Amino acid sequence: MATGDQARGAVDEQPEDGRRPTISDVAAHAGVSVTTVSHVLSGRRPVSPSTQAKVRRSIDALAFRPNEIARSMRSQRTHTVAIVIPNIAHVVYPVVARGVNDELRPLGYQTAIYDTDGDPRIKAEVLQAVTARRVDGVIMFGFDMTSADAAVLEEADVAFVNGGLNAATDGPWDCVRSNQPAGMQDATRHLVGRFGGPVAFLGGMPGDGPADIRESGFRSGMAAAGLEVDERLVRRVPYSWEGGRHAVAELLAGPVVPRSVVCANDLIAIGGMAAARDRGLDVPGDMAFTGYDNIEAGTMVATTLTSVESYPNEQGRACARLLLDRISRGYSGPARHVGIDTDLIVRRSSTPRDDV
């Protein structure tokens, strides 16, 4: 059969000397200049069809792949974007990273994920590493970004976007923020509207996520509903199942038992529901709950959990778009701040039986 020609085209004709073929190997093989090879590769200059064909044949024959490092060295572009996050094992960050990747890959950019383990020292190292490696842009997600961080990036002349956690005050750089106060407020009003008070708030520990911002959302939700906050029902606990379980157990032993419990994340809520159930309470009949993050586990528990969805994928995409504006669309205007709205996903933990 006549399989010979095409098949042979892809075969490495070069003596295998361990060295990858370079552009000048191709030029020599095709009998043209490196300039010409470069131009058939880039298409930045017309090359006659016959020469093109020759060159392409040589490229195939030698299995030539341009060395991106050398390319970057000249062009000062790496077509790589770094996303720096505190902890890849945390629920939301992988989804954010996917969003970034989804937006970037079609445009020929690679996304490299860097994990700092929530350690500022490692963050600094990573920042040095990515700037030294000359990535085209950096997405800092889930950090309260400091001016020092920004200075490192600016000095290295690499574009960046900050996303994720709401900072006390956003710096003069591009930001993507989930509208968490509104999310908490929605949850609070929803719960109060359906079940009334007393209302408890189980917040996360400060420094381990957006603790304060969610509490303030709760408070404004209460204000909007015209209710006073009972400070005895406001607790800061670890962002964990155990934290929620413990807190609800304590509330149940306390002077005021809440009718509604607004939780700063789903783990707290799920733990809280478990504690309520352990004491023989019905959820939501005796005590209603909302969570935050809309994790999968919330759909798998006996009483499915009403939760705030913050669309981390979309947050990632938004970061990527802001960054692309700067690194490939030439935007160099003032910093932009984009907000991503949340949605309340209502499930059984806040749905009176009659409504089912």
Partner DNA sequence: TTGAAAGCGCTACCAC
Partner DNA sequence: GTGGTAGCGCTTTCAA
Contact set with a second copy (CB under 8 A):
12, 18, 20, 63, 65-70, 72-73, 78, 80, 88-89, 93-95, 97-98, 101, 105, 110-115, 117, 122, 126, 128-129, 131-134, 155-157, 241, 267, 270-271, 274, 277, 296-297, 299-302
Amino acid at 216: S
Nearer to a second copy, 63 or 256 (CB): 63
Q: Cβ closer to a second copy: 5 or 157?
A: 157
- What residue has token string 């964990």? 240
Q: Which does 301 bind (CB under 5 to 8 A by kind): a second copy, DNA, none?
A: a second copy
Residue 34 interacting entry, from a second copy, DNA, none, C-beta within 5 to 8 Å by type: DNA
> Angle at the Cα of 166 (from 164 to 170), degrees rounded to 5?
110
Nearer to DNA (CB atom), residue 75 or residue 299: 75
Structure tokens at 192: 């109060």
- What SS3 state is found at 344? strand
Shortest gap between Cβ of 122 and a second copy (angstroms)? 7
Cα–Cα distance, 204 to 235 (Å, whole number): 8
Length of the chain: 356
- Say if residues 204 and 236 touch (Cβ distance below 8 Å): yes
Backbone angles phi, psi at 293, to 5 degrees: 115, -20
Q: Yes or no: say if 99 and 161 are a contact pair by the CB < 8 Å rule.
A: no
- Give me the least distance between CB of 305 and DNA, in Å please: 52
Which amino acid is located at 123 in the chain? K
Q: Both tokens of residue 322?
A: 């802001």
Residue 35 or 299: which CB sits closer to DNA? 35
80 binds, among DNA, a second copy, none (CB under 5 to 8 A by kind): a second copy
Q: DSSP E strands: which ranges in the chain?
A: 80-85, 110-115, 137-141, 159-164, 175-178, 199-203, 234-236, 260-263, 288-292, 306-309, 337-340, 343-345
Let me know the angle formed at the C-alpha of 274 by 351 and 262, rounded to the nearest 5 degrees. 50
Considering beta carbons, is residue 59 or 305 the nearer one to DNA? 59
185 binds, among DNA, a second copy, none (CB under 5 to 8 A by kind): none
Please list the alpha-helical segments (H only) found in 133-235. 147-155, 180-195, 211-225
- Min CB(225)–a second copy separation in Å: 29
- Using the minimum distance from each CB to a second copy, give the nearer residue, 129 or 252: 129
Residue 225, contacted partner among DNA, a second copy, none, CB below 5-8 A by kind? none
Q: How many helices (H) and strands (E) does the chain have?
A: 13, 12
Binding site for DNA (CB under 7 A): 19-20, 22-24, 31-36, 38-39, 41-42, 44-48, 50-51, 64, 66-67, 70-71, 73-75
Identity of the residue, 22 or 240, whose beta carbon is nearer to DNA in the bound complex = 22
Q: Are the beta carbons of 350 and 190 closer than 8 angstroms?
A: yes
Q: Report, in Å, the least distance between residue 24 CB and DNA.
A: 6
Binding site partner of 328, from a second copy, DNA, none, Cβ cut-off 5-8 A by kind: none
Cα angle 215, 89, 271; round to 5: 50
Residue 32 contacts which entry, DNA, a second copy, none (Cβ below 5-8 A, type-dependent): DNA
